[in-house]
Each structure stands twice: as C-alpha cells, then as structure tokens.
Amino acid sequence: MSSSEETNIETVKKMGINFALIIGVLAVLVVASVYSVANISS
C-alpha cells in the first residue's frame, strides 16, 4: 500500500512539473504577443 502511495506521489509531482512548464510557456507566449502588439501600435 505504501508503494502505491509513493507511486501516486511521484505521479502528482510529475503532473505538477508538467503543469508548471505548460503555464510558463503560455505566459511567455502571452507576454511576447502583448509586447509585439504594443510595439506595432506604438
């Protein structure tokens, strides 16, 4: 039972890392698009 719990914890950690990476990439894309739009308008 403890081994399955450890596996679940590792899975949650991996999912959390992947989620953080995806959020980071999306944030960079949004900032880059806003920055480019601001440059074009100005």
Domain ranges in the chain are: 1-42
Q: What per-residue confidence (pLDDT) applies to 19?
A: 97
Q: Tell me the pLDDT band of 2, cut-offs 50, 70 and 90.
A: low
What are 6-40's pLDDT values in tens digits? Answer: 789 999 999 999 999 999 999 999 999 999 999 98
Q: How many angstroms separate the CA atoms of 42 and 26, rounded?
A: 24
Question: Which two tokens mark 38?
Answer: 């601001």
Residues found in the chain: 42
Q: What per-residue confidence (pLDDT) applies to 7?
A: 86
Instruction: Determine if the pTM surpasses 0.85.
Output: no
Q: What per-residue confidence (pLDDT) applies to 40?
A: 87
Q: What per-residue confidence (pLDDT) applies to 42?
A: 73
Q: How far is CA 8 from CA 3, 16, 18, 28, 36, in A?
A: 9, 12, 15, 30, 42
